[in-house]
């Protein structure tokens, strides 16, 4: 399917989106790849795992990476797990994790098995010098997302879209859950837009023999997409509306919300971008599903 790109629909020059990627380890294609391919994104990323940071730092393109461990500031313990992508400032909870197929926090081969504990110095997000004000934040730091964002309100204040990993059950000990994140972001002026990559597992020993990573009934995690409050636009800039439309159209295919944002901008500036978007959408693009399941590791 040919992508339905906002630039093609509107036929105007679009602004560069400042992306902040917290937990920038690459596991597949970057979420914001549709913007990168059009030279419409500039990325600042944080990735503390040494070998992954080294690989990212050598990446050509509009990227700046930092090796900082973001958190509350001060000393903390990094729980290094057998699978590096599960490492966290929080301790994995075997009592919860070992209930489910294919996860595991116990010897010998659980992905969440802690193989080392490393004393690290954490940095508050708002204390990082020279950090560009982000338009779009993507964060995945294995249960510590709320801790990071709580110590970055100034950085968060410029964002129009936030994607954060959330859990519905505590995979890590004392882990904030989806409801905690939603309450915090609501206080910062965001509303929940959609859940994507919704994942779960079967309770042991029951699993799908064709795909053991597929949930049977229990949801465990997802990526939650939050958007700055779209009921009234007093807190939005004209450019913020256009950047949010670009992010939501090209990354998330949220075409109805994109139209709503463009219409609000048109009302201010006496333009007709919303009509252009709707005309192009009607001609070329089927309406997508509004959520998806993730049945892979």
Confidence category of residue 3, pLDDT binned at 50, 70, 90: confident
Q: Is 116 in contact with 64 (CB distance < 8 Å)?
A: no
pLDDT at 290: 60
- The share of the chain scoring above pLDDT 70, in percent, equals 95
Question: Can you tell me whether residue 293 is helix, strand or coil?
Answer: strand
pLDDT at 2: 66
Distance separating alpha carbons of residues 227 and 249, to the nearest angstrom: 13
Q: Is the pLDDT of residue 127 over 70?
A: yes
pLDDT at 108: 85
pLDDT at 109: 84
Confidence category of residue 5, pLDDT binned at 50, 70, 90: very high
A 10 A CB-CB count for 284 gives 12
Q: What is the mean pLDDT of the chain?
A: 94
- Report, as an integer, the average pLDDT of 228-233: 94
- Report, as an integer, the average pLDDT of 137-147: 98
pLDDT at 1: 55
- Report, as an integer, the average pLDDT of 166-170: 98
Q: What is the pLDDT of residues 259-275, one digit of tens each?
A: 999 999 999 999 999 99
pLDDT at 144: 97
pLDDT at 80: 96
Please report the sign of the dihedral spanned by the C-alpha atoms of residue 25, residue 30, residue 31, residue 35. Answer: positive
Q: What is the pLDDT of residues 199-228, one digit of tens each?
A: 999 999 999 999 999 999 999 999 999 999
pLDDT at 27: 85
Ordered by where they begin, the domains of the chain are 6-79+120-199+227-284 (3.40.50)
Q: What is the pLDDT of residues 87-98, one digit of tens each?
A: 999 999 999 999
Burial class from Cβ neighbours inside 10 Å (0-12, 13-18, 19+) for residue 240 reads buried
Residue 164 Cα distances to 57, 88, 94, 260, angstroms: 23, 15, 23, 23
Extract the tokens encoding 85: 């992508």
pTM score = 0.94
- Report, as an integer, the average pLDDT of 33-40: 98
In sequence order, which ranges of 31-105 are alpha helices (DSSP H)? 33-36, 50-57, 94-97
Place of tokens 């549709």: 34
Q: Is the pLDDT of residue 288 over 80?
A: no
Nearest to 17 by CA among 188, 245, 231: 245
């Amino acid at each position: 399917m040919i992508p339905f790109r906002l630039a093609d629909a509107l036929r105007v020059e679009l602004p560069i989106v400042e992306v902040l990627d917290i937990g920038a380890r690459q596991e597949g294609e970057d979420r914001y790849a549709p913007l990168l391919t059009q030279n419409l994104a500039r990325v600042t990323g944080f990735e503390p795992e040494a070998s992954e940071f080294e690989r990212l730092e050598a990446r050509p393109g509009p990227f700046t990476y930092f090796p900082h461990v973001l958190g509350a500031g001060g000393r903390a313990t990094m729980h290094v797990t057998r699978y590096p992508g599960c490492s966290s400032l929080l301790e994995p909870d075997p009592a919860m994790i070992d209930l489910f197929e294919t996860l595991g926090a116990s010897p010998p081969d659980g992905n969440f098995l802690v193989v080392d504990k490393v004393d690290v110095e954490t940095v508050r997000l708002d204390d990082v010098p020279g950090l560009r004000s982000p338009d779009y934040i993507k964060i995945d730091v294995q249960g510590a997302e709320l801790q990071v964002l709580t110590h970055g309100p100034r950085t968060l204040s410029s964002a129009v879209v936030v994607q954060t990993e959330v859990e519905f059950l505590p995979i890590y000990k004392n882990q904030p859950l989806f409801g905690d994140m939603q309450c915090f972001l609501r206080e910062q002026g965001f509303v929940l837009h959609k859940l994507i990559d919704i994942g779960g597992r079967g309770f042991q020993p029951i699993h799908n023999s064709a795909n053991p990573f597929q949930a049977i009934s229990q949801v465990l995690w997802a990526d939650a997409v939050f958007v700055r409050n779209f009921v009234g636009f007093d807190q939005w800039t004209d450019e913020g509306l256009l950047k949010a439309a670009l992010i939501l159209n090209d990354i998330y295919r949220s075409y109805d919300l994109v139209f709503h944002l463009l219409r609000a901008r048109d009302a201010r500036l006496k333009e007709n971008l919303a009509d252009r978007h709707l005309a192009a959408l009607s001609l070329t693009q089927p309406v997508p599903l509004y959520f998806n399941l993730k049945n892979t590791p």
